[in-house]
Amino acid sequence: MVRRAKVSGMTPDCSIIVRTPAEAVAFTPYVLGFHPSDSLVVLGLSGKVVVVGVRYDLPPPAAAFDEVAQVIAHQGAPEVMVLGYGKPRLVTPAVLGLVGALAPVGVRVREALRVTDGRWWSYSCSDETCCPAEGTPCRSDLAAEAVYRGMVALPDRKALVARVASATGAIRRDMAAATERARSRFTDLTGADVEAGRGGQLIRKAGRQAIREAERVARGGGMPSHDGIAWLGVLLVRPVVLDYALARSGPDDWRLRLWGEVVRLVEPEYAPGPACLLAFAAWRSGDGALARVAVDRALKQEPTHRMAAVLDRLLGLGIGPQALVDLRAPVRSGQGRRGTDGRRARRGARRRSL
């Protein structure tokens, strides 16, 4: 399967300007959030501004080029730069195959490059005065500019995956104990709900309270306790609680910190819910690479998870955060979402459904 690491909807204060092949090579890791290897990368350009970045693993299946070209065309960027990272035997057929697939869908390729062992070569230029046969060294001074602007590129994709991996050691033992307490608490709550004939209202109320409290703590710079995180994990198994958290989600840094920490600390079986919340917040912020690994974490744990599947499809289609899609489960006829529609209208945040 071709994996995509997509970055879109970059905000004006972090816009990347690419005028030359050297700049494209230097800035691509900061568009993706990590240094790519054995990868095919496409930078979508509007003028000189990078408006989208898409990454695929190498080698892709031969049939994937048409699919990739359609996804790129969907972004609406007038032209692109195509960069292949790795050995020539992997990169050259992939770059040339994609370039050939882009022309029929109306996407102009400004430049096609190979990056190998700290040097780059152009497939578009044969003039040795500017593109020597031995390649051109990658420029560290251009990368330093991105760092100065506060942009980050992790060493590789494995480092990004590690950000959503389960914590180990003493923390894991503490969380295992906290999770047992949370499970017992949830069992008691479910029993009370059934006994009172509340139809799940007590669980919905507890879920909303837990989400709001976690947000309050994280917004102030802190993190919930281990018991609080375990309680969140257990509650987020319920779709009604996950939907509530998604409806409140946004691109805030503190949300990324919150759900990133919850994903790491919850027992693995409870990771899909917070992983989806991390993915959605990352997608909203334009960090498609983090969104991708978070969705992968959710699907690895639970391949049939409804929300993870929706987010996987959203990322795969290259839909940008400007779409502001409503990812919640549809409500059956005659049932409303109590208290949410009015608040959303007052905020003026109308969301389109997929």
The domains found in the chain, sorted by start residue, are 4-155 (3.40.140.10), 170-328 (no CATH)
Rama region for 225: left / alpha / beta (φ>0; ψ in -120 to 50; rest): beta
User: Could you tell me which of 225, 221, 300, 216 has the C-alpha nearest to residue 262?
Assistant: 225
DSSP 148-214: HTT---BSSHHHHHHTTSPP-THHHHHHHHHHHHHHHHHHHHHHHHHHHT-TTHHHHHHHHHHHHHH
Residue indicated by tokens 């208290």: 339
- Look up the pTM and report it: 0.78
Which stretches of the chain drop beneath a pLDDT of 70? 1-15, 62, 322-354
Query: Helical H runs in the chain?
Result: 21-32, 64-74, 88-102, 140-148, 157-162, 170-196, 201-219, 226-235, 239-248, 253-265, 272-285, 288-301, 306-316, 340-347
The reported pLDDT for the residue numbered 262 is: 98
pLDDT tens for 163-198 read 999 999 999 999 999 999 999 999 999 999 898 888
The reported pLDDT for the residue numbered 318 is: 74
What is the number of alpha carbons within 13 Å of residue 121 lying toward its C-beta?
A: 17
How many Å apart are CA 39 and CA 44, to the nearest integer?
A: 16
* CA 228-165-295 angle, 5° bins: 90
CB 85 within 8 A of CB 76: no
pLDDT tens for 100-134 read 999 999 999 999 999 999 999 999 888 888 889 89
The reported pLDDT for the residue numbered 206 is: 97
How many Å apart are CA 182 and CA 232, to the nearest integer?
A: 9
How many Å apart are CA 342 and CA 256, to the nearest integer?
A: 26
Buried b / exposed e over 42-61, threshold 16 CB at 10 Å, is bbbbeeeebbbbbbbbbbbe
The reported pLDDT for the residue numbered 121 is: 96
